Amino acid sequence: MAEVINMPRLSDTMEEGTLAKWFKKVGDTVKEGEILAEIETDKATMEFESFYDGVLLHIGIDEGSTAPVDSIIAIIGSKGEDISKIINNDTPVVKEEPTPVVKEEPTPVVKEEPTPVVKEEPTPVVKEEVKADSTISISNDRILISPLAKKLANEKGIDISAIKGSGDNGRIIKRDIDSFKPSNYSQFTQPRPHLKESSYETQNSTMRKAIAKRLADSKFSAPHYYLNIELEMDNIISFRKQFIQTQNIKISFNDIIAKAVSLSLAKHPKVNSRWYDDKIIYNEHVHLGVAVAVDDGLIVPVVKFSNSKDLPQINSEIKDFAERAKNKKLTPSEIEGSTFTISNLGMFGIESFTSIINQPNSAILSIGAIVQKPIVKNNEVVVGNTMKLTLACDHRTVDGATGSLFLKTLKEYIENPVSILI
């Protein structure tokens, strides 16, 4: 009996999916567990496995097309099985064709003649009469130039010996100064054939469109405000070095900060909250979203119950998520349910930045680079390591004092990292 495969709902916000790639074609044998296709959702591109054994009898959506959740994308059955009734009863699949270019009827356009280049006749110049006294200046080099032209040449820094005059007896006049071009002018102004204009375009992916929509919704619906702190990082640098040596696990600064953030959120559930139109939910557990850059944009895998996990566990999960995110191997459950998000651009040398809140979270933390610079310690100026953090808060749920207290707790954990292990 033929089995119908519908467009799956791969995330809680998914309404439609794009068939990014088929790994099988009609007539191929399919086994349960084999990868059938890649489906692009609003959050990620994921591999879709077959749940059935059989032959691929029908493909209901082409690569690059989009279909609503639950519409038929494929049918698997026995070779030669009649599936015409299933196909005919199927609600037509909505395919997202590239936006058709509406061919506009050439509206009676008044053909715009190229603006006639008005051949610039020498401006009716009042012919300068040569008077015996001083209308023409004659230099030691015998260059004939009118007083007005000489004045303009001085103002423009033009060497008059390089100008050929067009006046009487080769005299240099105003017109010659106005039209003068230095000998090297052409190399900067003339078109160079080896330099060509170049551009290209790509269709917006489902993920990119979803990111644009969600971030715009967040930015314009949540009243963002920002809190900034600068931390001393000398202790955490020493702590990380010792931890790697004793535990033989190469944890990153991001792992330590993730753990410190998780412990701080457990103490400040108002920051670890979610806004809804009719209520605010305060979470005592911490599901920490960690922003990861991928080719199509940004994906946020979630470390569940991160406040109860130790540094090696957090290190292992974040590393695994980052690798699988880039290979499109994350599952829907691994990218949903965050209560707070961190975004780190420190590895790119960015000292400080602000992020847009990943709703329905109430806040997001932006992590900058560790910078070595002069700092004051014990009333002395010494060289130290610092890092800037920026907390973006939704003012509907997190007041300024609430966000400040959270950052105060976080600062204590990071500047005294041994307290993370207690």
51 HSE (CA, 13 A, CB side): 8
Beta strands in 99-223 (DSSP E): 137-138, 144-145
Token pair for 235: 């202790």
Could you tell me which residues are beta bridge partners of residue 178?
none
Strands 340-344 and 363-377: parallel
In single-letter form, the type of residue at position 75 comes to I
The beta strands (E) that lie in 141-223 are given as 144-145
C-alpha 410/C-alpha 99 separation (Å) is 48
List Cβ neighbours of 332 (8 Å cut-off, separation of 6 or more): 10, 11, 12, 41, 43, 46
Quick check: is 395 catalytic? yes
* DSSP strand pairing (3-6 vs 16-22): unpaired
- For tokens 């916000």, name the residue: 13
Question: H helices within 90-167, ranges in order?
Answer: 147-156
CA distance 174 to 399: 70
- Report the C-alpha gap between 90 and 84 in whole angstroms: 10
Identify the H or E element spanning 45: strand 45-49
Where are the alpha helices (H) located in 65-158, listed in sequence order?
A: 84-89, 147-156
Catalytic residue chosen out of the listed positions 58, 194, 224, 395: 395
User: Distance between CA 193 and CA 199 in Å, rounded?
Assistant: 17
Under the phi-then-psi rule, with left for phi > 0, alpha for psi from -120 to 50, and beta for the rest, what region is 169?
A: left
Catalytic residues: 395
